[in-house]
Amino acid sequence: MRDLTFDFLRVTEQAALAAYPWVGSGNKLKADGAATNAMRDTLNKIDFDGKIVIGEGEIDNAPMLYIGEEVGAGVNPKVDIAVDPIEGTTSTVNGQENAFTVIAAAPRNTLLHAPDMYMEKIVVGTEAKGEIDLNASLVENVHVVAKANEKNIKDMRILIQNRERHTQLIDEVRNIGAKVYLFDEGDITYAAATCMKKQGIDLFYGIGGAPEGVLAAVAVKCLGGDMQAKLLPKNKTEYERCVEMGLYNPNKILKLHNLISSDKCLFVATGITENILLKGIVLDTDSNYVTHSLLLNGQNKHIRYIECKHFNYQELVK
């Protein structure tokens, strides 16, 4: 798996560079299409046997990078792939922060095959590993994590996505004296940032996409943090979809090892626009694109930042 790290870096770099011309364009279809094409083309040049388990959707509504699609040259190693060609498509085309491209990978059959539906998620860093419990209330979890982090409640920093569905929980956490920091897009990077001590975030909570939850879980695994999740099928059709994908008890609390069961995992992301962890793409004085990427490895728990100058990239894509 480690031998594939820089191959996957090229995948996210190429997808980000392909999306960059569409920053501020307002055209979500063109932006996503450009990134998806670039990601797929680059994946298919790698010597591995890849299978998309988290992608752009089902085969009937996603022409490429669909769930179950095989990518790569078809030679060992056999790898599960989770991708998001653009996390934050709206942010990209509106010229806003928190847009990036991401890939997570692990040995075959070690990544959760999550259906595209809502998922409840809670993430903490290393100090509170093993302490969280989605069966308990968010307020109870804040108290437990405060004790594990040796902090007073008033010093706790909680990240929650700014959505109406979270309003009551935000009020409950603030009412006990903890600080809530809201964000709009990019819950993968915010979940990962919870596991980086220098970010000063004690707990991440949110109800968002299940595919993003699996991508976040790989980053959390690589960083030594902890995560729990729960699928939230909204109707019988979504419940049955879970069962069809092998999740026979969709209401079960999923622990980190249920989301990603191997330490031999990789997480690679490249910024399109700036976010909490990554710089966005910029042009240098010679009109060369400069990308900024994050590489995480579950075996050695290393955090690598890679800045790359792409000479003459504009000429190559004309």
**194, 160 in Cβ contact below 8 A?**
no
Residue 103 scores a pLDDT above 90:
yes
Say how many Å lie between the first and final Cα of the chain, rounded: 34
Total H helices, total E strands in the chain:
10, 14
Tokens standing for 51?
Answer: 């299978």
Q: Domain 118-259 falls in which CATH fold? A: D-Maltodextrin-Binding Protein; domain 2 (3.40.190)
Same fold, 4-110+264-310 and 118-259: no
Tell me the pTM.
Answer: 0.94
Kindly list the strands in the beta sheet with 157-161, ordered across the sheet, starting from the edge strand earlier in the chain: 179-183, 157-161, 203-209, 118-124, 226-231, 254-255
Binding-site residue ranges: 32, 56, 84, 87, 212
* Per-chain mean pLDDT for the chain: 93
Cα angle value 73/216/40 (rounded, 5°): 25
Q: Residue 62: pLDDT band by 50, 70, 90 thresholds?
A: low
Q: Which of 145-149, 242-246, 255-259, 292-296 has the lowest mean pLDDT?
A: 242-246
DSSP bridge pairs for 107: 79
Binding residues for Mn(2+): 32, 56, 84, 87, 212
CA diameter of the chain:
57
Q: What CATH number matches the domain at 4-110+264-310, 3.40.50.150, 3.30.2020.10, 3.40.640.10, 3.30.540.10?
A: 3.30.540.10
Distances (CA, A) of 145 to 69, 140, 159, 173, 282: 40, 9, 13, 13, 38
The confidence score (pLDDT) of residue 246 equals: 85
The structural domains of the chain, with segments of one domain joined by +, span 4-110+264-310, 118-259
> Does an H or E element contain 49, and which?
strand 49-54
Is the CB of residue 270 less than 8 Å from the CB of residue 254? no
